Structure 1
């Protein structure tokens, strides 16, 4: 019996080693519900579940490379990563020609967020001159003119959760947050203490970019992402990390 089990284990190990490896990028600035890191490796979160599911569906072994968000473009241009997920076309300074876009996977909204008791403001232009909570390396096109004019000043945090924690602690009056992170942050607070979404600043459709190279199973992964989208698996992953009242308090507005 022990010989049989040893043989099965050997076969499973050989099969895993024979799978092609895909190098997925992970931005240090991601926090829950997008991803949680332990020992410089992802262990849970929306993007971790998505990348794990895509790798299984495509029959590849994922390898995660954690790096600063500002290094992602350089890593793509140097061919140091094979897959970059959670990215929008407008976030790229230059689009590397040797990467292929996946189907749209996640719709995201970036919100202007304030303390729970603050009165609503119709536009960021109505915010008095002050510092505003932002994330290092993130771009906010709808606020660029206000930053350039000195009306608003960026106060960067290492990730989105820290930016929201500073807002709640009173370090500044407003911050910018994606809706997924805001819902996750608010789920642990009683309703009267939850941070308040004031305005939709941007809306983006996010997907993955896969390196087009003979040594990379590019089409296998792209087809896997299509199947995950069409089967509803991505929506199930999103719901797994959604709070019961995730839609409560969401303001309306137009994106870019």
Structure 2
């Protein structure tokens, strides 16, 4: 009698908990070469961990819509493509096909998130109306980053490229007078302008894209579910709220 009752209880429990058969976590890849407002890395001992930033807030918002817990996997830019192709991460956001041409067909691309473009940042120089106005200058860039609008000038020598590890380092070069111009995304400029009010920018329609999430084709995560989650955070205003918390407007 006791064994029959135990069997019945187990059967009822298993029937009432179908979620246990499904994935309860998804692994978000995060490009560790970025800086705020996209991400801030903290260290627990010697181990780096995602602490805050747009990518953390975005991942948490998408995970909530999917009813799963996010797990973060920090990866340098040159390992983003292999990590997605190999299925080491389920999803990585703030991407675009132009930035990762080698894996365009190896991942599922989501619906758009928000607009990203590059702006030319300077301090007291006259506002350039085109790249011709800064001919011969050295421009601060980020190592391994692609600048489609500037690459022809870098190749023909009309502009010189100076790579830094990230734009936090480049801003310091700008403020200390080591560089007269740096290039960064519109998202970064909106955030850092609030901190360094002396910075100015010229929007020259450089590298304008709509960012997306890329889902590994080796993941069990369905692109349809991701797109539904993105639609929901757009419609609810959650995505706009995340961006505005970092002083970013008019990019949706």
Unaligned runs of 5+ in 1: 1-14, 248-256
Matches of 1:49 and 1:22 in 2, distance apart?
Answer: 15
TM normalised by structure 1 equals: 0.81
Q: Is the 8 A contact 1:76 1:96 kept in 2?
A: no
Matches within 5 A, 1:65-84: 65-84=73-92
- Structure 2 residue 66 is the aligned partner of structure 1 residue 58: yes
- Paired with 1:17 and 1:29, the residues of 2 have a C-alpha distance of 35
Please tell me whether the aligned partners of residues 161 and 181 of structure 1 are also in contact (alpha carbons under 8 angstroms).
no
Name the structure 2 match of 1:144.
151
| Of 27, 34, 38, the match for 1:23 | 27
Question: Among residues 159, 182, 185, which one is paired with 2:189 in the alignment?
Answer: 182
* Partner-residue secondary structure (3-state), 1:84: strand
- Offset of 1:143 from its aligned partner? 0.8
Task: Mark the structure with the bigger radius of gyration.
Answer: 2
What corresponds to 2:14 in structure 1? none
1:124 aligns with 2:131: yes
Cα 1:69/1:16, change in 2 over 3 Å: farther
Contact 1:28 1:159 (C-alpha < 8 Å) held by counterparts: no
Please show how residues 1-256 of structure 1 align to structure 2 within 5 Å. 19-39=23-43, 40-115=48-123, 117-189=124-196, 191=197, 194-200=198-204, 201-213=206-218, 215-242=220-247
Q: 1:129 to 1:170 in 2, by over 3 A?
A: same
| Unmatched tracts of structure 2, length 5 or more | 1-18
Q: How far apart are residue 146 of structure 1 and its match?
A: 0.8
Task: Determine helix, strand or coil for the equivalent of 1:208.
Answer: strand
Task: Report how many aligned residue pairs link the two structures.
Answer: 227
